[in-house]
Structure 1
Amino acid sequence: MRRMVDEPYFTHSAYSALTTGIQVKCSKCHGPGIVTADKDYAYFRCYNCGHQETRERTIYRYDVHNQCRNCGRYYRMDIKDEAKQHFPVLHVACPHCGTMMPGKVHKTAEAYAYIAEIKDGKEPYFGLELWFLTSFQGKPVWALNREHLAYLIGYLSADLREKPFSIPRKTQADHLPTFMKTSKNRKRIVKLLKKMQER
């Protein structure tokens, strides 16, 4: 009989995987790559073609605030268009009277990018598809990296799954959707996961 003691809730999360790496598909060559992060930046590196990307983790607000030379009122206009955010000066219309006038673009650090979870089989920084991604009856089945994949195989193929004594609350298995934990599906899902392990 195979026993498995479950792991703490955040052992395999997008947040914890940023130090060990989230394995993804390269947007250029579709080969294997990895996404990692430190407190300021997220990094992508492709093992196959060498393509690399870096993205800042701070979220900025871009706006033009000005006093209208026509009506004299103060205004602040947010600049949502990414292409326009990097101009030093933009012509914007006063929201009160419609007068077009130039204004300096201000960049303000608004928030620190918290770790989003995996959405639609893609990691949260570059929107790259996970390397270990498949589907079961139309539902996505994925793993962040080889360690996460090994955990899933071990957990789902165990005959007895136990919660650790030291952790009274949620464990890693609480992340798993019900369809993966249902006894009639477990064998077939483990087969899919083992096939992904060969990549």
Structure 2
Amino acid sequence: MSRIIDKPYFTYSAYSALTLGIQAKCPKCQGAGVVTADRDNAFFRCHGCGHQMTRDRTVYRYAVHNQCRHCGRYYRVEIQDEAKQRFPVLHVACPYCKSRMPGEVLRTAQGFSYADEIREGKEPYFGLELWFLSYFQGKPVWAINREHLAYLIDYLSADLREKPFGLPKRTQADHLPTFMKTAKNRERIVKLLKKMQGGAD
């Protein structure tokens, strides 16, 4: 009888870019690359063609600070529209008297962004498709890297699945959708995962 002790909840998640790296498909050559991240930036590097990308993880606030020429009051108008945030100067209405006038768009750092969940087989930093991605009855089945893939195979193949002693109630298996954990599907999903494992890296 095979048994597995589950892993902590965030072992394999979007945050793995900070430690293990997330394997993803290169947008240029469709080869395998890796997404990594630190506190300030996210990075992608393709193992095949060498294509690289960097994205600032800092969250900025954009606003026009001005003194109204009509009523004389100072005001600040937040700019939420991403397209408008690119302009150095915008015409905005004074919130007090509604007079419109040009004002400089100021950018201030608010902190760094938290990684979102992996959705529909895409990592959240650049929106790249995961390298280990397949479909079971139209639903995505994915792993963020080889280590995660091995965990999924071991977990779904095990006869006995146990929660780690002394850890909070939520574990890595809580990330898995119900269709993957359903007894009638497990064997076919394990075959699918093993096929991905045998594919080129």
* Distance across 1 between alignment mates of 2:26 and 2:124: 14
Unaligned residue ranges in structure 2 (runs of 5+): none
How far the C-alpha of 1:184 sits from its partner, in A, is: 0.4
* Distance across 1 between alignment mates of 2:31 and 2:172: 29
How many aligned residue pairs are there? Answer: 199
Aligned partner of 2:14 in structure 1 is: 14
Aligned partner of 1:186 in structure 2 is: 186
TM-score (norm 2): 0.89
The aligned runs of 1:123-134 (5 Å cut-off) are 123-134=123-134
Q: What secondary structure, in the 3-state scheme, does the structure 1 residue paired with 2:70 have?
A: coil
Identity of aligned residues (%): 74
How far the C-alpha of 1:72 sits from its partner, in A, is: 2.6
Q: What secondary structure, in the 3-state scheme, does the structure 1 residue paired with 2:135 have?
A: strand
* Distance across 2 between alignment mates of 1:109 and 1:129: 29
* Distance across 2 between alignment mates of 1:93 and 1:51: 44
* Distance across 1 between alignment mates of 2:63 and 2:3: 57
State the Cα RMSD in Å: 1.9
How far the C-alpha of 1:83 sits from its partner, in A, is: 4.8
**Alignment partner of 1:37 is 2:37:** yes
* Distance across 2 between alignment mates of 1:23 and 1:68: 51
Deviations 1:122-143 (A, max 9, x none): 1111111111111111211111
Amino acid at match of 2:77: M
Unaligned residue ranges in structure 1 (runs of 5+): none
Aligned partner of 2:170 in structure 1 is: 170
Asked if 1 retains the 8 angstrom alpha-carbon contact of 2:17 and 2:37, the reply is: no
How far the C-alpha of 1:15 sits from its partner, in A, is: 0.9
How far the C-alpha of 1:188 sits from its partner, in A, is: 0.5
How far the C-alpha of 1:163 sits from its partner, in A, is: 1.8
* Distance across 1 between alignment mates of 2:74 and 2:137: 56
* Distance across 1 between alignment mates of 2:115 and 2:85: 24
